[in-house]
Copies of this chain bind each other. A is one copy, B any other.
Amino acid sequence: MELVEFKVKFQESIARNESIVFFCSCEIAYSGRAEAFLARGDRIIVVKADNTLLIHQPEGGNPINYMRPGSKIELQQLDSHLLLKAQNLDSKDYIDMQIFRVYSFMSHKLEDGIKQELAGNEKDMSDMIKDHPEIISPEFKPLSREEHTKFGFIDVFGHDKKGNIVIVECKRYTASLQCVTQLRRYVEKISELKGLPLERVKGIMASPSISTNALDMLKKWGFEWKQVNPPKRLERYNRDQKTLSVF
């Protein structure tokens, strides 16, 4: 496609507030939170109606360059090619994209606004533990599942039969050193706030697995690990895949 034709189409689509996608050969410079340069190659460019800019290489899941929603995007004619400039005043960064060839162009006014429903995240896992505390221990009595309180962002908070405070930190994946230090921080904070000795505040890590180093550190600090699988994992995949293979 001729660059002149592309430029006209691009400007028209922008004026109509459409979403735009095109394939091109380009070279990209980014400056802002970091500095980046990407030499010439073929890429997929997306300009959304909210002025998000995405630059994808033909392989890989993540954009190689991007500008966040609300960027100022404009196309300039240079001597032999085009310059697409995107600038974000909030994040104080910008992209300069030299466009040498455009292979295809597409634009359309898109109507959406639907929000996705999601299940199986960490919140669901802590809900499950709150509703079925025997997963953790027959002695565990949860009091609350509150994340943003004066005590901090604790997943499940409760006590045992001996009157100790119990703090449960849930992770949907293998618990790491970082996860254990997070639990430690909560235990120390509660101990301080309640004026209780550390021995009276029990920390429990609930996760499907835990790294060796993390388990060592956990034990060293007197915490426990309880193997808990996040809800709806794998079982549903296997069930559904059986159904699908009948297709």
The interface of chain A, by Cβ under 8 A from chain B, is 19, 21, 23, 31-44, 46, 48-50, 52, 54, 56-61, 64-66, 68-69, 92-94, 103-108, 110-114, 116-121, 172, 177-178, 181-182, 184-185, 232-234, 236-237, 240-241
Q: A44-B110, A112-B41 are in contact. Are A31 and B68 (CB under 8 A)?
A: no
Closest to A22 in B: B106
Q: Which of B43, B65, B110, B121 contacts A42 (CB 8 A)?
A: B110
Chain B residues positioned under 8 Å from A44 (CB to CB): 19, 21, 46, 48, 110
State whether A41 touches B113 (Cβ < 8 A). yes
Chain B residues positioned under 8 Å from A237 (CB to CB): 31-32, 92-94
Chain B residues positioned under 8 Å from A64 (CB to CB): 116
Q: Shortest distance in angstroms between A35's beta carbon and chain B's nearest beta carbon?
A: 5
Chain B residues positioned under 8 Å from A233 (CB to CB): 33
Q: Which of B52, B120, B178 contacts A35 (CB 8 A)?
A: B120
State whether B35 touches A118 (Cβ < 8 A). yes
Chain B residues positioned under 8 Å from A40 (CB to CB): 114
A177 to B68, CA, bound (A): 27
A117 to B35, CA, bound (A): 8
